[in-house]
Amino acid sequence: MTPQAAVRDRYPLVVGDQEVATSAKMTAKAPGTGETVAEVPLADAEVVDQAVRAATDAQPGWAGLSAAERGRLLRDLADAVRGQSERLARIDAQDSGNPLAAMRNDVAYGADALDYFAGIARELHGKTLPASANGLHLTLREPCGVVARILPFNHPLMFTLFHAAAPLAAGNTVIVKAPDQTPISPLEVAYLAREILPPGVLTVLTGDGATTGEALVAHPGIGRIGFTGRGTTGLRVMEAAAASGHVKHVTVELGGKNPLLVAPDADPAYVAEQAVGGMNFESSQGQSCGSTSRMYVPAGMRDEVVDAVAARLDQIRVGDPLDPATTMGPLVSEPQLTRVRGYVEAGKSEGARLVRGGDTPGGVPEGGYYLAPTLFDQVTPGHVIAAEEIFGPVLSVLEWQDRDDLIAQANATRYGLTANIITNDLDWAVDTARRVQAGCVWINGRGQHFLETPFGGYKDSGLGAEGSMESLLSYTRTKVVHILDIGARP
């Protein structure tokens, strides 16, 4: 058995300059074995209020630092994360089930996000506007105040750093609601931040959505909320914010049922590689809002592409996420495994052809939540597996013959997060990219993310975007200053 990650004996909350214990606890389980690895606090409304008050007290001083000074502290935090990169990656692999190699990449990306936003914060500026002949008209960019960030389970450490970086760089204080299923690495970030940032600037709270999440959303001291996760939960966040009796700025990055559109000139082996990469089999077991789970293939090359994808899936090694040889780990929890298996059974019962997977692979640790990478062929638009977000390692292949019908099928979903296009034909690629209803489109390659570009969706995939200057600006408010009667006063 691979050695387990080095977790702490206790995981207190840090609120302001105090460690806070709670009577109610939550258990963190290792999805690779099903064993409990730690207990973490369940923050109730009283603890949430303490955290908001500490963040409110800290915010003027944090915003009063220059962008350069805030940036220096954020870069120090990035360096501290890098200094513990292997330990943090192992904790994340054990806590989330994602393979260790992918979690090493997550640690690096999260630290890079701190560096990136620390740098571009110095570019936050207002404008001068020629609104009158004898006046000077200015806009200023000011922070929102206290920001709540509510995170999903699939990339706990990376999302803690990435989603806190922009609001912190803009001068806000941030309260992170850690994922229920994967709370350990966000707390580790809080302990690193305690040694670098002023008290109250970055707070991490653990707890469930019904207790901790709802108290955060409803709190009158929080005016800016960013949520990433399932669509139904995002709608509840928006409803709870509206019901709080206070106007709140809410952005949500939600789910996707993302198409991979294969042109007739595409190479089947290349398609297979991008299909497996785009599904995130080997980074999060397909548990990603950006996974391209609907692959549309021209009728004349479907069999060749399906065979190539099946061969590539055969190369995936499912196992203990802490084993360096593992390329795909378990799903995050037993309920998640049960949910995804339900979709596999639905695919079979509706007549799709199961090509690979759908069951527990051999040789995996006992008690873990494992499912083999799964491929369905002969899927039609009416099948459940073609319509609903599965959030697991299930890829569906659909056939297309008419290009206009292809675009119509790709857009026939409530979601509009991402799309991938595989072709060497520039006209085909650009025309398809324009017509597909998605906030992020990749032409060739797979769904790589870049800090310099925004990421967000259309339709029920969300409101707002993360990453880039666009994200930084969204954590500021515009103030207009009018200086009048210049040279005309007595």
AA identity, residue 286 = G
Residues in the chain: 490
d(CA 386, CA 396): 7
Query: Strand 294-298 and strand 394-400: pairing?
Result: parallel
Say how many CA atoms lie within 13 Å of 211 toward its Cβ. 18
DSSP string computed for 309-331: HHHHHHT--B--TTSTT-SB---
Cβ atoms within 10 A of the Cβ of 453, count? 12
d(CA 65, CA 329): 43
Cβ atoms within 10 A of the Cβ of 364, count? 20
d(CA 100, CA 91): 9
DSSP string computed for 133-192: TT-EEEEEEEE-SEEEEE--SSSHHHHHHHHHHHHHHTT-EEEEE--SS--HHHHHHHHH
d(CA 163, CA 152): 11
Angle at 251 between CA 250 and CA 257, to 5 degrees: 140
Report residue 224 as tokens: 């800016």
Please report, for residues 257, 339, 454, the alpha-carbon distance to residue 415 in angstroms, rounded to integers and kept in the order given. Answer: 6, 20, 17
Catalytic residues, by residue number, are 253, 289
- Using an 8 Å Cβ cutoff, are 336 and 369 in contact? yes
Residue with tokens 């378990």: 330
- Using an 8 Å Cβ cutoff, are 156 and 186 in contact? yes
Q: What is the dihedral of CA 403, 406, 412, 414, to 10 degrees?
A: -110
Please report, for residues 129, 159, 188, the alpha-carbon distance to residue 8 in angstroms, rounded to integers and kept in the order given. Answer: 55, 21, 9
